[in-house]
Homo-oligomer: A and B are copies of this chain.
Amino acid sequence: MKESPLVSPTYGGVAIDMMGSDLGPEELFDGVRLALKNFSDITPFILVGDGDLLSSLLSKYHLEQHPKLSVFHASQVIEMDDKPIQSLKQKKDASMIRALELIQARAASAVLSCGNTGSLMAGSTLKLRPIPGIERPAMASIIPSSEGYFILADVGANPQSSPMHLAHNALLATVYCQKVLQIASPRVGLLTIGTEEGKGNELIQKAHEKLKQLSAIIHYVGLIEGFHLFSDHVDVVICDGFTGNVLLKSMESLASYLKAFAKKEFLRNPLRAFGALCSRGAFEAIKTKLSSERYGAAPLLGLNGTVFKAHGSSNAKVISYAIHMASEVSRIGIQNDEAELICRAKALLK
């Protein structure tokens, strides 16, 4: 098994990097099983990683003959602290890289990885290439808000964005929003501090000019501030990857802190606990709304192929949704629309 890759006849589905999770391949495997159970119409998966280990997991759960599962052996693993470019050079047989190569070879239609973001970004760019006109992919997260959801992009793919990168991100996120949230003309805002012209920093000022040039092809509503985020002001929030990543993680941190604090307070005495019991429907509704499980994975937009990144610490449930989402997005297909919009933008952007 170590010599020649194990290739099954079941192709065209989601290639899953089984080795990149902080919680280990077993948790990912539980996610795979959950996805098979919950989403009957899902595409097949190719499990990429240590062949012996994956085969033993398949046999443990009597899944060796499952028509939607196959294994592709990869002997190496990219670790979280590996340097992106170096990891690509030194670990050619890493599960993440092999998964990307399956798209390249048209043997898979999408990749899902929980691994090193930098390596996934560099590897995807190298193996799949950005769509024409795009320099760097962007990562987009779907976040719950008062009237539904909004898309935040970029959430970490490109921490040193240029104004042109931000303009491209607006185009890519518009397509993603149209396809996934099914909003025909998504309202796009550029996140800054102080919405008066000339405020913010140089990046924002220049990106704002570029976004105004795109108003014929996207619905750019202008500069927005942090307090606009959850008030249904826009459907797409554009920022650089540094700000977006800090924001996303801080908001998750705030939400879980509030949850823990509320739990402690509601259980502080029997009367409060009784009250909480009466109101448990409200708690369930809040929990469902805030759950990042459903949208726990984010795509790398702007590539010739569907690549999803999930948190390193994603549990089986999150993974099952992530697999489903990667499967759905690759089925819908967003690359042609992305390419078309980027092409139309070319004439508008000075």
Per-residue CB proximity of A234-271 to B under 8 Å, as 1/0?
A: 00000101110111111111111110111001101101
* Cβ-closest chain B residue relative to A281: B272
Nearest neighbor of A237 in chain B, beta-carbon distance: B250
CB of A265 to closest CB in B, whole Å: 4
Nearest chain B residue, comparing its CB with the CB of A289: B261
Q: Which single residue of chain B is at the shortest CB-CB distance from A159? A: B201
Q: How far is the CB of A191 from chain B (nearest CB, A)?
A: 6
A221 within 8 A of B: no
Number of interface residues of A (CB under 8 A): 69
Chain B: CB-nearest residue to A240: B201
Indicate if the CB atoms of B198 and A225 lie closer than 8 Å: no
B281 close to A193 (CB less than 8 A): no
Residue pair B265, A285 in contact (C-beta under 8 Å): yes
Scan residues 205-251 of chain A and give those whose CB is less than 8 A from a CB of chain B.
Answer: 225-231, 239, 241-243, 245-251
Counting CB contacts under 8 A, is A279 at the interface?
yes
Nearest CB of B to A270, in Å: 10
Nearest B residue (CB) for A79: B196
Q: How far is the CA of A31 from the CA of B265 in the complex (A)?
A: 31
CB of B247 within 8 A of CB of A227, answer no
Contact assessment for A227 and B249 in the assembled complex, using a CB-CB cutoff below 8 Å: yes
Number of copies: 2
CB distance from A141 to the nearest CB of B (A): 12
Instruction: Evaluate contact between A247 and B246: CB separation under 8 angstroms.
Output: yes
Query: In the complex the two chains form, is A281's CB within 8 Å of B253's CB?
Result: no
Decide yes or no: A258 and B257 within 8 Å by CB, A81-B196, A252-B227 being known contacts: no
Whether A278 is near chain B, meaning CB under 8 Å from some CB there, is: yes
Q: Which residues of B contact A231 (CB under 8 A)?
A: 253, 257
A127 nearest CB across to chain B (Å): 22
Query: Would you call B268 and A281 a contact (CB within 8 A)?
Result: yes
Nearest-neighbor residue (CB-CB) of A158 within chain B: B201
| Chain B residues positioned under 8 Å from A265 (CB to CB) | 281-282, 285-286
Q: How far is the CB of A298 from chain B (nearest CB, A)?
A: 13
Which residues of chain A from 314 to 329 have a CB within 8 Å of any chain B CB? none
B interface footprint on A60-98 (CB within 8 Å = 1, 0 otherwise): 000000000000000000001101000000000000000
**B242 touching A262 by the CB < 8 A rule?**
no
> Which residues in B have their C-beta under 8 angstroms from that of A260?
146
**Contact check: which of B83, B242, B290 meets A243 at CB < 8 Å?**
B242
Task: Check if A59 is an interface residue, CB within 8 A of chain B.
Answer: no
Beyond the given A193-B241, A225-B246, A261-B289, could you list 7 further A-B residue pairs with CB under 8 A, ordered by the A residue number? A160-B202, A226-B249, A250-B251, A251-B254, A265-B285, A275-B280, A279-B279
14 contacts between A and B (CB under 8 A): A146-B257, A159-B193, A192-B246, A193-B242, A193-B246, A226-B248, A251-B254, A265-B282, A271-B278, A271-B279, A272-B278, A274-B275, A275-B277, A279-B279
A interface list, Cβ under 8 A from B:
80-81, 83, 117-118, 145-146, 156, 159-160, 191-194, 196, 198-202, 204, 225-231, 239, 241-243, 245-258, 260-262, 265-266, 268-269, 271-282, 285-286, 289-290
